[in-house]
A and B are shown apart, each in its own frame.
Chain A
Amino acid sequence: MSDLLERGRFLLPAVLLAALPFYLDAFWLRIGLFSMAAAIGAVGLGLLSGTAGQLSLGHAFFLAVGAYGYVWLAGDSGPGLPPAVALVLAVLLAGAAGGLFSPVAGRVKGVYLGVATLALVFLGHHVLLTADSVTGGFNGSSVPPLEIGSFAFDQGDDLTVLGVPFGAEERIWYLGLALFALTWFTARGLLRGRPGRALVALRDSETAAAVMGVHVARYRSAAFVVSSMYAGLAGVLLALSFRRVVPDYFSLALSVDYLAMIVIGGLGSVAGATAGAVFVTALPLLMTRYADQLPLVAAPGSGDGSIGPTEAARYLYGAAIVVILVFAPDGLTGLARRARARIARPRPPGPAPSDPGAAPRPPATAVRAKEHTP
């Protein structure tokens, strides 16, 4: 019975998300798509930074490897593979790039890794600009649409489902949903299983974990590789949604965005990373759309010195990072958990399964423990 309820918790959101393309227009679907792609990447970074305690500012690089890998592998300038194969290979390529960095990622610890990974972003950006036969240089290149069998995820032929015309956004929506579900369940599996526990032990005390039989360098490298693969997947989905990739998108600012996502959402949990990803992605887009209705915010391009929507969004989320870290270090998930606890407290203890808050939490989120003194 409780097993059924546990499943039901996922069924309802899944049905809701699947129904959205029938009701929302392309603008909202695009926000949703970018959020899903960001969530996939953020879950990957959450595994590394939240669970394993390794700071990474190189996430933009692995997104770029995924995106450009897909474009090149499926495009005319490269081998021109079937797009579905290119997608899988692009993810593996991002993982391999993470693996190549593992001599550093496995041995360099915590915030040091953050600085070391800065190098990846800058060097990667340089390569994207320079190797223009592969990447298209400064102007980037267009993204070949994904095709599975004879079904293409683009405007293509007219397709109408239940009276709703299905354009590119609607089609990619379901692809994004499937990939996000894959990410959600694999990441939770990893976190709840042996690897997750090993990584948490490693974060809390390297020496203690090593004594318990956790191979320190191997687990650190593995966390880095897995996180890179999620980033690669996110990169492919972003490329498919943007339909064009340019080097300047994959800058340090993007890496910082991803870090902001997992911090705002709450370190060490899949749901937190997702919530943070939606917040950070949707905020600037929504503020741009509704700029004329917001106080203190000028419409985009209305001259020097005024606060445009992009800036307003950046103020907001920069401040959100600081405020959350100062007042609620466990982020949105922590706030939600405490709110649930407060609501649940006055009630007498009853049958637990009726309360979704009483469902078992992943062990990784339960602990915010001290790091050892360096």
Chain B
Amino acid sequence: MTTLVDNLFNGLALGAVYALIALGFVTIFKASGVLSFTHGSLLLLGGYLTAILHDDLGFAGALALAVLATAAVAGLLDRYVLQRIGTDPHAAHVATIATIGVDIVLVTDLSRRIGGDLLGLGDPWGDAVTDMGPATVADSRIAAIIVSAVAIAGAFALFRFTPWGLSLRAAAEDSEAAALMGVRLTRVRMLAWCLAGALAALAAVFLAAFPAPGLERTTGQIALKAFPAAILGGMASPVGALVGSLLIGLTEAFVAGYQSDLHVLGEGFGDVAPYAVMVLVLLVRPAGLFAARGAARV
């Protein structure tokens, strides 16, 4: 029973963090049609900035600065690299590959700086735990769930209530028509990248917080697990990304939690379980769980 509640909490916390990342993917994809493979390095950048700044600025100040800086880097990357490649649907394909190139450069540089170290982010939760009925839950997990929920609600409010959100939805529906209505597509997609960068930097904090040992150079790779989450949701649906993320987080936590019963699958299967789930879902529904697919035009 205890394990069940533990796993449930772990899964929810993990899912909440994946949701931050996956929401970024989906926002970028809606605005530009690009799949961002740069997300791992953006996440690492956010974490790294928080780690080196928290001594001087305190945790909150460092995090705020890291979030802003990562958002700026993501926005500039889109404006001055990816948009130069072009903004039509074919260019989106090329820009996707370009994000891989950017990722290589950023990850190489950040891992060189981090080296073999484990960087603490100076977060206020430390290794404190709270008793919640039958289970003991790390404070960092609770914080992950709450902060993610607030951030995601904020992002949804942006989509729903701001002029930018309206432009984004219009551009995703029909970019040509939106442009004719006076939507500035370049600015809309640049802001989408900024939002995604900010969410990734925020996610980095919780990926490096207790019980993880700290920020390592491989932390960025965890962002890749948000891909299955976004794909499960159908890539263009923010709600789908949320559901997909929770599904992936819970799967991973439960597989890891009951590993001793699943030893047939080998040690550490929890880490790769998200991908197994993705393949299974794609076999049944190639367009994801939440995709509404229209007819293709010639």
User: Which B residues lie within 8 Å of A314 (CB)?
Assistant: 104-105, 108
User: Which A residues lie within 8 Å of B115 (CB)?
Assistant: 304-305
Contact A126/B272 with A119-B278, A322-B102 known, Cβ cut-off 8 Å: yes
- Report the nearest A residue to B104, measured CB to CB: A318
CB of B96 closer than 8 Å to a CB of A:
yes
Q: How far is the CA of A130 from the CA of B269 in the complex (A)?
A: 9
A371-B275 in contact (CB<8A):
no
Chain A nearest Cβ from B154, distance in angstroms: 26
- Report the nearest A residue to B105, measured CB to CB: A318
User: Which B residues lie within 8 Å of A372 (CB)?
Assistant: 89, 296-298
Which residue of the partner chain, among A108, A110, A123, A322, contacts B93 with CB atoms under 8 Å? A110
CB of A329 closer than 8 Å to a CB of B:
yes
A329-B85 in contact (CB<8A):
yes
- For B, the interface residue count at a CB cutoff of 8 angstroms equals 50
Contact A259/B283 with A314-B108, A315-B108, A374-B296 known, Cβ cut-off 8 Å: no
B112-A311 in contact (CB<8A):
yes
Render B84-99 as a binary contact track against A, CB cut-off 8 A, 1 for contact. Answer: 1100111011111110
Contact A55/B276 with A307-B112, A325-B85 known, Cβ cut-off 8 Å: no
Which residue of the partner chain, among A125, A127, A319, contacts B101 with CB atoms under 8 Å? A319
Within 8 A of B (CB), among A119-171: 119, 122-123, 125-127, 129-131
Chain B nearest Cβ from A247, distance in angstroms: 12
User: Which A residues lie within 8 Å of B297 (CB)?
Assistant: 207, 372-373
Q: How far is the CA of A243 from the CA of B131 in the complex (A)?
A: 54
CB of B146 closer than 8 Å to a CB of A:
no
- Report the nearest A residue to B88, measured CB to CB: A370
Render B260-283 as a binary contact track against A, CB cut-off 8 A, 1 for contact. Answer: 000001111101100110110011
User: Which B residues lie within 8 Å of A110 (CB)?
Assistant: 93
Within 8 A of B (CB), among A196-213: 205-208, 211
Chain A nearest Cβ from B140, distance in angstroms: 26
Q: How far is the CA of A129 from the CA of B95 in the complex (A)?
A: 34
Chain A nearest Cβ from B280, distance in angstroms: 10
Prevailing SS type, chain B contact patch = helix
B96-A326 in contact (CB<8A):
no
User: Which A residues lie within 8 Å of B81 (CB)?
Assistant: 322, 326
B283-A115 in contact (CB<8A):
no
CB of A338 closer than 8 Å to a CB of B:
no
Chain A nearest Cβ from B285, distance in angstroms: 10
CB of B15 closer than 8 Å to a CB of A:
no
CB of B239 closer than 8 Å to a CB of A:
no
B279-A119 in contact (CB<8A):
yes
Contact A119/B97 with A108-B286, A305-B113 known, Cβ cut-off 8 Å: no
B278-A126 in contact (CB<8A):
no
B275-A123 in contact (CB<8A):
yes
CB of B100 closer than 8 Å to a CB of A:
yes
CB of B231 closer than 8 Å to a CB of A:
yes
User: Which B residues lie within 8 Å of A357 (CB)?
Assistant: none
B100-A321 in contact (CB<8A):
yes
Q: How far is the CA of A300 from the CA of B229 in the complex (A)?
A: 39
Task: Tell me which of A111, A311, A371 has the highest count of chain B C-beta atoms within 10 A of its own C-beta.
Answer: A111
CB of B24 closer than 8 Å to a CB of A:
no
CB of B228 closer than 8 Å to a CB of A:
yes
Q: How far is the CA of A263 from the CA of B108 in the complex (A)?
A: 19
CB of A289 closer than 8 Å to a CB of B:
no
Task: Tell me which of B113, B268, B278 has the highest count of chain A C-beta atoms within 10 A of its own C-beta.
Answer: B278
CB of A235 closer than 8 Å to a CB of B:
no
Prevailing SS type, chain A contact patch = helix
Within 8 A of B (CB), among A236-288: 252, 256, 259-260, 263
User: Which A residues lie within 8 Å of B235 (CB)?
Assistant: 112
Chain B nearest Cβ from A76, distance in angstroms: 24
- Report the nearest B residue to A325, measured CB to CB: B98
Chain B nearest Cβ from A374, distance in angstroms: 7
B93-A119 in contact (CB<8A):
no
CB of B35 closer than 8 Å to a CB of A:
yes
CB of A114 closer than 8 Å to a CB of B:
yes
A322-B88 in contact (CB<8A):
no
CB of B9 closer than 8 Å to a CB of A:
no
User: Which B residues lie within 8 Å of A373 (CB)?
Assistant: 89, 296-297
CB of B68 closer than 8 Å to a CB of A:
no
A116-B108 in contact (CB<8A):
no
Task: Tell me which of B85, B276, B286 has the highest count of chain A C-beta atoms within 10 A of its own C-beta.
Answer: B286
B98-A322 in contact (CB<8A):
yes
- Report the nearest A residue to B294, measured CB to CB: A374
CB of A31 closer than 8 Å to a CB of B:
no
User: Which A residues lie within 8 Å of B272 (CB)?
Assistant: 122-123, 125-126
Within 8 A of A (CB), among B19-48: 33, 35
Q: How far is the CA of A108 from the CA of B291 in the complex (A)?
A: 13
User: Which A residues lie within 8 Å of B286 (CB)?
Assistant: 104, 107-108
A111-B35 in contact (CB<8A):
yes
B279-A116 in contact (CB<8A):
yes
Contact A126/B298 with A111-B96, A315-B105 known, Cβ cut-off 8 Å: no
CB of B109 closer than 8 Å to a CB of A:
yes
A126-B101 in contact (CB<8A):
no
Task: Tell me which of A103, A126, A311, A317 has the highest count of chain B C-beta atoms within 10 A of its own C-beta.
Answer: A126
User: Which B residues lie within 8 Å of A205 (CB)?
Assistant: 298
Which residue of the partner chain, among A123, A211, A321, contacts B97 with CB atoms under 8 Å? A321
Q: Can you give 5 contacting A-B residue pairs, CB < 8 Å?
A: A115-B278, A119-B279, A123-B272, A123-B279, A314-B105
Residues of B at the A interface (CB closer than 8 Å) are 33, 35, 81, 84-85, 88-90, 92-98, 100-105, 108-109, 112-113, 115, 221, 224, 227-228, 230-231, 235, 265-269, 271-272, 275-276, 278-279, 282-283, 286, 296-298
Q: Which 5 A-B pairs have the closest CB atoms?
A: A321-B101, A318-B104, A130-B266, A119-B275, A318-B105
5 other contacts beyond A129-B268, A252-B224, A305-B113, with CB at 8 A cut-off?
A108-B282, A115-B228, A119-B276, A260-B104, A370-B88
